[in-house]
Chains A and B, each alone.
Chain A
Amino acid sequence: MISNLKNKLMQKKDILRYIVVFFITLTLFLTAIWLSSFINNYKLNDIKDIQNKISLDISSSETQFQLLSSMSCKDVSASTLSDELNNLAEKITYSEQNIKNQDQVTDLKKYYSLLEIKDYLLMQKIQQKCNMPVIPIFYFYTTRDNCSNCVKQSAVLSQLRAKYPELRVYSFDYNLDLSALDTLKKIFKVDDKKLPAIYMDDKLYTGFQSEEDILKILPELAKYEKARLDAEAKAASSTNKSSTSTDR
């Protein structure tokens, strides 16, 4: 009788333990998921901040351009803006692969594509006016259909972009639902069956283009690089001179 009672008590305690363990496990589990989504949201907000800043910069430049129709070319620096766009591109690509909240990432991507187009339009104006060494290329890729050539192409373009600051790579996800992008696709006659596609030097190139291919199509890049290196060497020697002169 007593042992029976004891057995029953044990069972109640055992069942209670299973329930307690379930809730502890659930709490830990949900905490992990919540923490991850909290940090990821923070990251997406970081992207939004960068986008807002770029958007502001572009509008400000545009306005300046319109106000002064003859903006001093000295004030324009192409490199700073493109650096930020690159930084943004990296973060968006990373978020696309690692953050599960795809709706929000897609929105960020759309905004980014729009900023790229705006940046291009502004750059075109500045280039005409100030004769700046800038070469734009448009790159269309897809994240669907296991596009292995797109992975390769993206790697080649990032490398080129790092080597030649004069190169401005505007990359677009072909499948993004954005009317401005649709217009761009129509203008360049980009076909979704021939991705990756690159529009450069007023022509559309489809399929994977190696670094050598691109350098062949855009010989100016090498020229610009040479000019840049020469200027750097000059600057270095002049600072050397000035530093030796101050030493005296």
Chain B
Amino acid sequence: MTLAQIMQIILELFFYCFSFLSLYVQIYFLVVFLEKHKEIKIHRSPIKLFENEEDYQGVTITVPAYNEGLNVKKTVESLLKLNYPKNKLFLILVDDGSKDNTWEVMQEYKDHPQIKIFKKENGGKYTAQNLGLENTQTPFLGCLDSDSEVDPESLNRIMNYFADPAVMAVAPTIVSRNEENIVQRAQKTDYELQIYVKKMLAFVNAIHVTPGPFSIFRKSVFEKIGPYRHAHQTEDQEIAMRMQQNHMRIEHAPDAYVYTNTPKTVKALYKQRTRWIYGFIRNALDYKHLVFKKKYGNIGFITLPSGFISVMSVLFLFLFTGYNLYNYVKQKTLIISAVGLNMSTTSFKIDPFFINTSAILFISIIVYSSVFFSLFMGHKILHGKAKFNLNIIWFFIVYSIVAPFWLLKAVINAIRNYESSWTKEIDSR
């Protein structure tokens, strides 16, 4: 056997392993969907939680802002438009040491009865969130990034879930607001896919991130497990994992919309995703003791392993496709160098014999179909009907080309920093 053949066999073995695991995760979501799809509650019109305004629970929303002079007003206005009793909704605006006019913009609200404003030295988003936490007097609280806006109905729809006393936090549905170019259209589909995945994870109590924009918590969560911590720039993942570790239930409201600005350029998307994936890997490593432990439930059996599987699978698929493409191009170049581009002599015959019928192709078709199903269901949960749109194609093109690079970068950074933090720890002993 030649080296190339051995290489091919190893690659194919890996392909079977990764595709099996990826398919497993997709089928898992499908089975959860078939079990629970009747429980997906979608309100398309305003709901009234209580007859009496006094029965509504108080909620405080912190808006941390760093150099967001342009956006913070829009964010605050969207919060003030929430369909929720005015005497039950409070805002805390925190200027995290901005260098622009954020503080001046905030001054506009200094006498507003619902709003308190704070200015502090720059310390990162989580420090601003903790400042908001310290000044919260209500039993519920949340946070809204200053590049996002909320749907007027979303708070009511989220609070609906807290009727169950076991629910400790509710994650909203983040929708990409703009679709000016291909990169943003691709992300629109990605966010829709996340709606489906998130809802399925919520059904099995395995959500691993309470997104910065507008996840709402019971205040008792922080009283029990402490405030936000510095956690690899993804504090919204850390808090969710800490909650999971303490057996706290996180729900997902698929009809509570938060509109967010998505990166417009490939470079910005790459930076954002590298940060997210890096944060996921580091947080997952910090919480690796949850993995495959019965007492922590599904987070350790499905969420964390599937995250690693998807990172590895995408990287592998990139390598696998690249290797095959390289071989194909090499072969074609050789042939063209020998006989030129003259293809007229070889008549094109349609013989079903030459249709590819490899197991790899069939398995790929199954895996891709399952991903397509997830995409359609996400779209359906959001829009009420499943419809094919072009964004799906942009999603596959943009993500299959760029995602391997941000994944690779995140993995490399994670390994490098994990090692360095480890040596630091040894040095300090």
> Measuring CB to CB, which residues of chain A are less than 8 angstroms from any residue of chain B?
10-11, 14, 17-18, 20-22, 24-25, 28-29, 32-33, 35-37, 39-40, 43, 46, 91, 94, 98, 100, 144-146, 148, 151-153, 155-156, 158-159, 162-163, 208, 210-211
Contact = CB atoms under 8 A, between A and B. Distances in A.
A211 B31 contact: no
Given A25-B20, A151-B335, A98 B358 contact: yes
Interface in B357-404: 357-359, 361-363, 365-366
A32 B2 contact: no
Interface string B5-48: 00000000000000110011001100110010000000000000
Give the dominant DSSP class at A's interface: helix
B296 to A, nearest CB: 11
Contact of B357 (A21, A29, A36): A36
Interface bin, chain B: 35 or more
A20 B31 CA distance: 9
B97 to A, nearest CB: 45
Contact of B338 (A11, A33, A36, A156): A156
Central interface residue in B2, B19, B27, B346, by most chain A CB within 10 Å: B27
Contact of A162 (B20, B346, B353): B346
Contacts of B20: 25, 29
B298 interface: yes
Nearest to A23: B27
A33 B360 CA distance: 8
Contacts of B337: 152
Nearest to B32: A17
List 10 tightest A-B contacts by C-beta distance, closest first.
Answer: A152-B338, A32-B362, A36-B359, A39-B357, A155-B335, A162-B345, A33-B359, A25-B24, A155-B338, A21-B28
B345 A36 contact: no
B359 A153 contact: no
A146 B301 CA distance: 44
Contacts of A18: 28, 301
Given A21-B24, A146-B2, A151-B334, A11 B31 contact: no
B28 A43 contact: no
Contacts of A208: 338
Contacts of B362: 32-33, 35-36
Contacts of B358: 36, 98
Contacts of A22: 24
Contacts of A145: 2
Interface in B334-359: 334-335, 337-339, 342, 345-347, 353-354, 356-359
B357 A159 contact: no
